[in-house]
Amino acid sequence: MANKRITMRKIREVLRLHFVAQLSVRKISASTKISPSGIQKLLTKAKALSLTWPLPEGLDDSQLAAKFYPRADIRPSQRFEVPDWAELHQALKGKGMTKTLLWEEYTQQYPNRCYSYSQFCDRYKHWLKKQKRSMRQVHKAGEKLFVDYAGQTMPIVCNATGEIRHAQIFVAVMGASNYTFAEATYSQTLPDWIGSHVRAFEFIGGVPDIVVPDNLRSGVTKACRYDPDVNPSYQQLAQHYGTAIVPARPRKPQDKAKAEVGVQIIERWILARLRHHTFFSLAELNHCIRALLLEVNNKPFKQLKGTRQSLFDALDKPALMPLPKHAYQYTDIKQVKVNIDYHVQYDDHLYSVPHQLVGERLELHAKDNLIEAYFNNQRITSHPRKYHPGMTTRPEHMPVKHEKHHRWSAGRLMNWAKDIGDEVLIWVRSQLQQKQHEEQAYRVCLGLLNLSRNYPAHRLNNACGVANQHRLYRLKHIKEILQSNQDQLPRENQPQGMLLPQDHENIRGPKSFH
């Protein structure tokens, strides 16, 4: 709210974390990357609007924006662009790098909003002084779950080909008790990342208030490794379980010290012990990890009383939120634009949406067996998911003219053709069989059958008989036969070169071209 409008997705997340998760303003700020003052203004505005959670059904993003921003935000942007001091500090460690060079690059990037060189150096100096302080973190019971991937991987050999794949090791550690979960997945992609979280929640038997991930690619929306915006699918996971995602600050390993230590323990006490084993499947590797994980969590501390398991049972477990009735099902969320044919594409398959939305941008939610389309945060349609190229169209999404066309089917066309005559049925069936998709022949078949409005059934049937005999499969051929009355000639008197040039003394035949 300070210098720019906050997105509707973040406003919804702030309201959910305040009313449902009941987090403090600072924790909400850490999760959403909105300033505490901005969150206070949001909550004050929500109170004035009598908004709670869940929001009223049918309140889409445009209506929500109108409530929070009744007039366009015309306030000027921040006068000076503040450099990323941490990134600048790391760059200065490079050989030959100077503050003058970095300031020149900064002025080129923000020519109208840059500090002078003296201000640049002075502000960097003040920032640097603040970095000398440190703070011992105190973790509350059931509050935080730290998640990360180990740097070490484990090889898995394919039985059939001998190919080796390297499995990634996901690690999750509870803040108060150090209770640890680990598993192997084939990749660090979003489906595996989300699935590991689901299994981690099941392992600990509850849900923490906050999940602290590293700023890795799977958890963020852009390709930048340290983008603070949480991936929509990851945020949907948090909403399903009623928790908050608070990514660790870039280049601040102390924010995720628990995960760093947990990774070391998994590498030393589990992966090192499995280094001489050969695994032929992911399930086999995870079975061994789970067995050794039991030992890790029951191993006595050296300087404390008890074990990770005993501390977890005493501290974290009673404070965890209960698991929801159903586990989260991974949902791939992507932005799509409605094509002129009122369909959107996902994995080579086209799905229809209401034709009024042509040209609009929608949010597509793809689950294992369901495709859902959302417009302004409101679900507008859903389809069973297909795993092959093609098109799925619902009649109610079509314009009236298109809907009438799609009411036809191959069976209905052949039934009409049969009522006219057997030759008509043969011609229609051959049209349907010649096309790669039956729908491609509907138009020409309807054109033929509609000729029965202008010609008696027996004439149309005879014309199709002539066309079938001479393998003429164009609609214009049928029309020419009817217009020239060739269908009324006895079969034995019909010329063999139907609709082709007739014999004439001035026309050379095939014998002339030996």
Q: What does each C-alpha distance from 315 to 260, 308, 312 come to in angstroms?
A: 21, 10, 5
Q: Taking residues 206-229, what's their average pLDDT?
A: 66
> Can you give the pLDDT at residue 378?
92
Q: Taking residues 180-202, what's their average pLDDT?
A: 92
List Cβ neighbours of 485 (8 Å cut-off, separation of 6 or more). none
Residue 501: pLDDT over 70: no
Rounded to whole angstroms, how far apart are CA atoms 492 and 489? 8
Rounded to whole angstroms, how far apart are CA atoms 238 and 244? 6
Length of the chain: 514
Tokens coding 496? 């063999």
How high does pLDDT run on average in the chain?
Answer: 81
> Can you give the pLDDT at residue 385?
92
Q: Taking residues 255-261, what's their average pLDDT?
A: 72
> Can you give the pLDDT at residue 246?
84
- 253: which DSSP letter? G
Residue 5: pLDDT over 90: no
Q: Name the one residue in this structure whose structure tokens are 């640049």.
A: 120
pLDDT band at 158 (very low <50, low <70, confident <90, very high): confident
Q: Is CATH 3.30.420.10 correct for 144-319?
A: yes
The predicted-structure confidence for 313-353, as pLDDT tens digits, reads as follows 988 899 899 999 989 888 888 899 988 778 899 988 889 89
pLDDT band at 303 (very low <50, low <70, confident <90, very high): low
Most confident residue range from 86-95, 107-116, 184-193 = 184-193
The predicted-structure confidence for 429-454, as pLDDT tens digits, reads as follows 998 888 766 666 777 888 899 899 88
> Can you give the pLDDT at residue 392?
86
Least-confidence region, from 64-73, 173-182, 386-395? 64-73
> Can you give the pLDDT at residue 329?
86
Rounded to whole angstroms, how far apart are CA atoms 206 and 243? 11
Residue 308: pLDDT over 70: yes
Q: pTM to 2 decimals?
A: 0.54
The predicted-structure confidence for 91-122, as pLDDT tens digits, reads as follows 665 556 778 888 888 877 876 778 888 888 99
Residue 2: pLDDT over 80: no
Q: What does each C-alpha distance from 489 to 316, 421, 426, 466, 503 come to in angstroms?
A: 94, 18, 20, 10, 18
Query: From the centroid of its chain, how far is CA 361?
Result: 14
> Can you give the pLDDT at residue 179?
92
Least-confidence region, from 37-51, 57-71, 163-177? 57-71
Tokens coding 157? 């050999």
Q: Are strands 164-174 and 154-157 parallel, antiparallel or unpaired?
A: antiparallel
Tokens coding 42? 């949001």
Could you count the other beta carbons within 10 Å of the beta carbon of residue 10? 19
> Can you give the pLDDT at residue 13?
87
Residue 509: pLDDT over 80: no
List Cβ neighbours of 170 (8 Å cut-off, separation of 6 or more). 147, 148, 149, 150, 182, 183, 184, 185, 192, 193, 196, 200
One DSSP character per residue, 34-91 reads --HHHHHHHHHHHHHTT--SSPPTT--HHHHHHHH-SS---PPPPSSPPP-HHHHHHH
Domain ranges of the chain: 8-68, 85-125, 144-319, 332-400, 408-493
> Can you give the pLDDT at residue 75?
41
> Can you give the pLDDT at residue 286?
93
